[in-house]
Structure 1
Amino acid sequence: MEKEVLRGLRQLVGWTKGDGIFCPGGSASNMNAMNVARYHHFPEVKSQGLRGLPQLVIFTSSESHYSVKKGAAFLGFGTDNVILVEVDDRGRMIPEDLDEKIVLAKSQGAVPFLVNCTSGTTVQGAFDPLDRIADVCERHKLWMHVDAAFGGSVLFSKKHRHLMNGVDRANSVTWNPHKMLLAGQQCSVLLLQDNTNLLKRCHCANATYLFQQDKFYDVDLDVGDKSIQCGRKVDCLKLWLMWKAVGSSGLEDRVDKAFIHARYLGKQMKKREGFNLLHEPEFVNVCFWFIPPSMRGTEGDATYQDKLAKVAPVVKKRMIEQGTMMMGYQPLGNNVNFFRMVVMSPAFSQKDMDFVLDEIERLGKDL
């Protein structure tokens, strides 16, 4: 079952061959990719450890997932060796800055080995330009990993898979069906284009009491030695059952509906006084400010930004206390606290989107 599910996902990425493993969450998938990439470049690390390695550096966007730095700490790279690449105003990695930082790192004696791209950043829902990044990775011979934990499911959609153009040129991909496809928690996968058993060579311990080679069935079905775990849940079953139940067209419909509702929400905000979009949604993240009536027309005041930063926390507190909604908020760069509405559930309707706006207006009109 797992082999068939992995094959189906790899085909959506655009690979006719490869490997993969289900992992306990996107963070673990990303960390596995980092470990495999290091082993690919320096296989001696498995037996000799870190002492014989040069200073290895990783590149990722300034808006990438925190698991990259957490993985760097856990795997012994050190967080100082995670180099943050600049992003544009939509949160997408700038390939030219990536190239410059790789050249600079080399000139300083470091050894670049991995670029972590993001398809669907946590806050803005940005998709890094994978084709252009792949050009940079090929020029410098670096492992290209795509953290598509959030956005990977657009590959099911004929309308929206263009957001991940170039993903077929990656070496590895993280994908969480428990996010946009709404598989049960947890359901995360690491996909590799490599078909030389790299995962197993990197992680295996060849425990003969578990992985005997003289079994009566195909021993390739024993995937335990590909994983850093021993006991693990059959996470692929959740995706397999859902995929069998609704089909690829049903999963495509889930993705497309999410985009439709996110676009509708953005359009309705433009029609209502007091709602300002951070930018046009690229994905299903709708980022916006609510401006209470008392603050409208005072944008030039010296205290305006300080006052605006306090609106979202108060409104969120009220919606939770009254049990009507839950919605995240955060600052980003020079932007003070704004709401981040992530539209994913296929149970959503336009009526629900209208309720979101009505409720924010009701809870924040007196601020």
Structure 2
Amino acid sequence: MLVEKNLPLQPFNSFGIAARALRLARIGSEAELQALIRHPDWSADQTFVLGGGSNIVLTGDVRQLVLKVEIPGRRLLRETERGWLVEAGAGERWHDFVAWTLQQGWPGLENLALIPGTVGASPVQNIGAYGVECQDRFDSLDAIDLETGEAFSLNAAQCGFGYRDSVFKHERAADGRGFGLKGRALITRVRFLLPKPWKPVLGYLDLERKMAELGLVDPGAQQIFDMVCAIRRAKLPDPALIGNAGSFFKNPSVTPEQCADIIARDPKVVHYPMPDGSIKLAAGWLIDACGWKGKTVGHAGVYDKQALVLVNRGDAEHPCTGGEVMTLARAIQTSVYERFGIRLEPEPVVL
């Protein structure tokens, strides 16, 4: 296998941060990865798995061996009374996969349209939007143990899904207990069960407003897909034009009592009741309320149409650095904590 050296990573991260990989291997199949693992110089502890690069902030050159996941493939495994079981290679672009399922007549992923990144990253982050999360349609995945080279599969329960969370974001305990797989596995293929009968998920205000605007009462899956794309394009910058990593902070959850206290001080706070009794607050609203929308620190800024998104305001001569992004992020965290007593948690992986 070819290992490229001193390779620029700017094209491989959606924020457009200038950094380099000292070594990079493109993984196009399970066999290629297993052959690499058998090399005598292999060290699982010295690797970094890179998918679409849409959820990372690079704060310097990457000294680990970068494993660029490029495994292709889309197929229907079977159709039953329960639904369509579809599989995609980890290197497939997520949005393209969603569009493809609809083109085949298999609805269920339409609310997750236009989310950047690859299929392999979707369970890691448990991506979600407009009332649907990856775990709601997830069936199982295949992965390879980076220490042994052995292939294994996980079902939904074994993935330990939570809000923007999974077993792939947690490290195994020092005593060897637990099932954390952070840095220990590379996902190769993911399967989704798209349920029958299909039911639209429309419980978000933005979708309700879009339906009213278009005069829709009972939209189909393709119409929901089109609405989600239109909403996201209106609110979020295209990484091809303005570098960004999408939503930079997780929406925090608070108790009803905490929410009531915030509402007493800020009645317009955007909040959503959750099934477990907690209240989810809109992080973008909290950031905007602190006056950050449109502000810039160095060459990193807050998007002027959506305060939840941090953007690259640098250029070829003066590129934005990961350090500038994190300086801005920490300043925002401090402002929100001082005003609301809430600590915002970043979504991207900081490397």
Superposition TM-score tier, normalisation by shorter sequence = under 0.3
The two structures have a TM-score, normalised by structure 2, of: 0.27
Higher helix share: 1
The two structures have a TM-score, normalised by structure 1, of: 0.27
Q: Which has the larger radius of gyration?
A: 1
